[in-house]
Amino acid sequence: MTFRYLTRRQAADYLTDYGIPCAAKTLAKYACQGGGPRYIKYGLRVLYRPEDLLAWALAQCSVRSSTSDPGSPLAAPTSSNAGLSPESGPCARSEDQTEEDSE
């Protein structure tokens, strides 16, 4: 079993690469106040697992069709979509969305 851990800066870059803008300072704030992604402590260092980052990010997103729509949550990452590339990440635009926007 291989685990990959990311530093706070790498975690912020990882989320940003998936189309979810996030700063390392934001992750630090959530680590203090709560409400952020799961992390582990290794000595003084905070480390994040990519799958925990994606699960947290998707939990923050909701699909809406209008501003009055309360929205519905996106699906949590599974083993089949946990290895998505940034181009196909949770906030990547589909071809259908691109076509709708150009009309």
For residue 84, give the nearest of 37, 22, 18 by alpha carbon: 18
Q: What is the pLDDT of residue 50?
A: 95
**What gap in Å lies between CA 71 and CA 56, rounded to an integer?**
17
Global pTM value: 0.65
Q: pLDDT tens-digit profile of 20-73?
A: 999 999 999 999 999 999 999 999 999 999 999 999 998 888 777 788 877 776
Q: pLDDT tens-digit profile of 2-11?
A: 679 999 999 9
**What gap in Å lies between CA 35 and CA 88, rounded to an integer?**
25
The DSSP line for 2-23 is ----B-HHHHHHHHHHTT----
Q: Which residues contact 46 (CB under 8 A, 6 or more apart)?
A: 7, 8, 28, 31, 39, 40
How far is residue 69 from each of residues 58, 79, 91, measured CA to CA in Å?
18, 30, 19
Q: What is the pLDDT of residue 73?
A: 67
42: which 2 tokens?
Answer: 């290794």
97: which 2 tokens?
Answer: 């969305």
Question: Which structural domains are found in the chain, ordered by start?
Answer: 1-62 (1.10.10)
Tell how far CA 65 is from the center of its chain: 21
